[in-house]
Structure 1
Amino acid sequence: MKKYRMCNKNTYLLFQEVLIDFIVLVFTTVFLWYFFEDEIELFVVIFVILFSVFVGLIFLPVLYLYENYSKYNKNLMVLFHENSVVINDEEMPISEIIDVNIYGTYQLFNKNDGGIGTLAYNPYFYYLEINLKANRRIILSSILGQSIKDDMMGYYPKLNYKNNIKSFPKINGS
């Protein structure tokens, strides 16, 4: 039995790539400062471009997905038992689950395809949509734990799982 909930460790893992990219930006800025020491205007232009790319392509998408996932999973605690899933204090038998849709980027489902073209959120942000017989759905996201998808598939291998590739895995609806 493993417990999943939002915590600082999970938040750090989700923002780890952003932090690494920010450190690269700082070192690049220091290098450019010394390289363009006599041409301050050119340094400022290059810095503004680099900082805008960092904020627009790396930081804001990760922050947006984090806030989106927090909205759905902020106060959840999930436990996987042998024949049921417990969410907060509500126990749901596995027999009540119709299927599980997994939404993530191409890199999440194809581990060998990543590298330099992978954006910061690609392998880290995904969510599970659990459809129940009672015409309900439950959203569990990677904000609860990076391994929640693999662990659920390990605990309940007989469930029907569907991989859905999205370029930006934002949770829609309620």
Structure 2
Amino acid sequence: MEFLAVLLILVVGAAVGIWLYIVNQGDAHFQFIVDQRTDFTLAEITKDAATFRTVVPFINNGTQDGTLMDVFPRHFLPYEQFDAVDTDARLTLDSADRNDGYWEAYIVPKNTGGSIILTVKFTAKNGDIAAALKDMVDMPIDIVFQVVARSPWYIDKNRLVMTASEIHKALAAGQQAAAR
């Protein structure tokens, strides 16, 4: 009988040890570090449109590798707030710049990261982008991302704000560069 009790204790101890090992393995944990992004810069301007870009770093600070399956921007500029432009926002991996709006799944090892390029294009409804952006307001942009790792997949987001003053500063810098 003592043999069975010792065997049972060993089996339970092994099961608890295996469970603790699995629990301590952890998972991937992604974060887009929006407070470390670059300032928006003017990438291109025409009479009716202006395109701005910023670089946003991200990190997988979890204990396991993870995959960014889908990443996209969601800008918030309702016409009740500002109706002078049509807005298009896209992002791409900095190391694999694409212009088709497609995000290719990207495996990120633990404790590493990378960066994305966020591009925002404003097209003036009246045909004059300089006049349209004169009264621009701050625009929040969510970076929405789907993660696949050890746990079931999940969707998360980090928010940044493209400020009106930042847009005006980028426009002024672009005009000064063009004048040279």
TM-score over 0.5 (shorter chain): no
Q: Which has the higher strand share?
A: 2
Q: Which has the larger radius of gyration?
A: 2
TM-score scaled by length of structure 2: 0.26
Higher normalized helix content (fraction of residues)? 1
